[in-house]
Amino acid sequence: MPEDILINFTPQETRVAVMHQGVVQELHIERTASRGLVGNVYVGRVVRILPGMQSAFIDVGLERTAFLHVADIWEPRHNGDPARPIERILFEGQSQLVQVIKDPIGSKGARLSTQISVAGRMLVYLPQEKHIGISQRIESEIERESLREKITRLVPADEPGGFIVRTMAEGAMEEEMANDIDYLRKIWRDLQMHAKTAAPPALLIRSCPSASAYCVISSIRKPRASSSTRARTSRN
Amino acid sequence: MPTVTPLLNHYIGDRPLFDLHGVEDEIQKALARRVDLKSGGYLIFDQTEAMTTVDVNTGGFVGVRNFDETVFKTNLEAAQTIARQLRLRNLGGIIITDFIDMDSEEHKGAVLEEFNKALSRDHTRLTVNGFTALGLVEMTRKRTRESLAHILCEECPTCQGRGEVKTARTVCYEILRELLHEARQFNARELRVLGSVAVIDVFLDEESQGLAMLSDFIGKPISLQAEPSYAQEQYDIVLM
């Protein structure tokens, strides 16, 4: 089945059309002005700590400082260790790697987490936590076991992080999953390099270059005997 | 990502890519309420708060010997078109389709099968529950992103999304009642009506007599002023 993906990119918006046999099947439109921030990763600066609320306000370069609650601070926790209060974890002026988990709305700033997750097509990468998870939506116990076994084998032994297997991975070929692992690890490596030199507050990665274009592009697979997929991009 | 690079093709033609492949046209069509079918029938899409409804019509396509066959063919084409439009429009939630009534159980089954087949291309999770007691096809489609219409459009400022405005005549009668009320409440020398062009036209033509009668009844002159910037339902009564 021949499939073409047409991408029309302008500074204002990115439009993606998925074509099948010359007929448009799907449209994705994303506007720069209305793009959500969820998933963006920043190096922020802690501007205020409120022990009473067990929260902190972080400057990530947005109009309003963003909100970080102690429950969203990721800490390697050993069994039995009591949770530390926020004033013992952060200090004012500190730079901190954060990810937006909720868009700013009205007068409320964005909500942040310090646990970074990078979503690929089939996997979600959790670089700070060694954990293998399988989406609850994959119901078949046999499929879950087979995916768990596959991913455990594919993840390099020295990998400090973990992965969550998404529903898209159901029935996926090992090679495709391996590609996703490489890709996500590379994004994280690039991000860390960038984080070392960036002066806070700085945006490190946008959730998706264009959520749609990114997802679609990452879905392009190698042409098989009976299929060919091409993507064309245009700037005008 | 590097593995897909050979598949990418940077388009540098003069004619815009989306124009060349008819995508611009498809976007316009995906925003319209009505979608025409090749067989002569048409679909009407309505997105409401509670659900999306799709109505299938033959469009007065008659003249074929076998009426049942025409209905069947129209429904089959509609099934494919609806599945594709749901993807293009990215409609989520409850979707109810009113196919043209079919007597034959066999035809019903075949239309449902065609619908399921066309929907199987969808990447979004969906459930099709089949025909309801009233002969409607009930389904749900998971809401992922916003629908195309929600990204590209806003509520109509003239009708506030109702899709209808009061007729010029309805507005005229409202104004007549309001004039009587104002004349009784306040002591003005003259009353002036500022209204949309369409409403003032009705006052000048069909309803001129009614206006004259009211003017005699309250014993005051009533003048009219057309305001091109007014929407049909908009008017003002000025005491002079």
Question: What CATH number is attached to the domain comprising A134?
Answer: 3.30.230.10
Q: Taking an 8 Å Cβ-Cβ cutoff, which residues of chain B contact chain A?
A: 1, 3-4, 7-13, 16-18, 21-23, 26-27, 30, 84, 87-88, 90, 121, 145, 148, 151-152
Same domain membership, residue A186 and residue A213: no
Residue A202, in any domain of the structure: no
Same domain membership, residue A149 and residue A107: no
Q: Taking an 8 Å Cβ-Cβ cutoff, which residues of chain A contact chain B?
A: 4, 6, 8, 15, 17, 19-20, 22-29, 31, 179, 183, 211-212, 217-218, 220, 222-223, 229-234, 236
**Claim: this prediction has a pTM higher than 0.80:** no
The tokens for B64 are 């074929």
How many Cβ atoms sit within 10 Å of the Cβ of residue B186?
9
Same domain membership, residue A93 and residue A54: yes
Contact B30 A27 (CB under 8 A): yes
Maximum CA extent, chain A? 63
List, in order of start, the domains of chain B with CATH numbers. 2-152 (no CATH), 168-239 (3.40.1260.20)
To the nearest whole Å, the CA of A55 is away from the closest chain B CA by 31
Number of domains in chain A: 3
Collect contacts of B63-69 with beta carbons under 8 A, ≥24 apart: B68/B102, B68/B103, B68/B104, B68/B107
CA–CA separation, B175 and B165 (whole Å):
16
Domain range for A11 is: 1-35+207-236
CA–CA separation, A218 and A20 (whole Å):
18
CA–CA separation, A165 and A174 (whole Å):
12
Same domain membership, residue A193 and residue A121: yes
Could you tell me the strand order of the sheet in which B126-131 lies? Answer: B34-36, B42-47, B52-57, B93-98, B137-141, B126-131
To the nearest whole Å, the CA of B160 is away from the closest chain A CA by 23
Same domain membership, residue A215 and residue A191: no
ipTM value greater than 0.95 = no
Q: What is the CATH number of the domain that holds A71?
A: 2.40.50.140
What residues of chain B lie within 8 A of the CB of A183, using their CB? Answer: 1
Angle, helices B67-89 vs B23-31, to 10°: value is: 100
Residue B110 burial (10 A CB sphere; 0-12, 13-18, 19+): middle
Contact B84 A23 (CB under 8 A): yes
Tens of pLDDT, residue by residue, chain B (240 residues):
556 678 888 999 999 999 999 999 999 999 999 999 998 899 999 988 899 999 999 877 665 667 888 899 999 999 999 999 999 999 999 999 999 999 889 999 999 999 999 999 888 889 999 999 999 999 999 877 778 998 899 888 888 888 899 999 999 999 999 999 999 998 889 999 999 999 999 999 999 999 999 999 999 999 999 999 999 999 999 988
Nearest C-alpha in A relative to B19: A8
Same domain membership, residue A191 and residue A178: yes
CA–CA separation, A118 and A148 (whole Å):
19
Same domain membership, residue A49 and residue A6: no
Residues found in chain B? 240
CA–CA separation, A181 and B212 (whole Å):
82
Same domain membership, residue A128 and residue A110: no
The residue behind tokens 């997105």 is B47
Same domain membership, residue A236 and residue A172: no
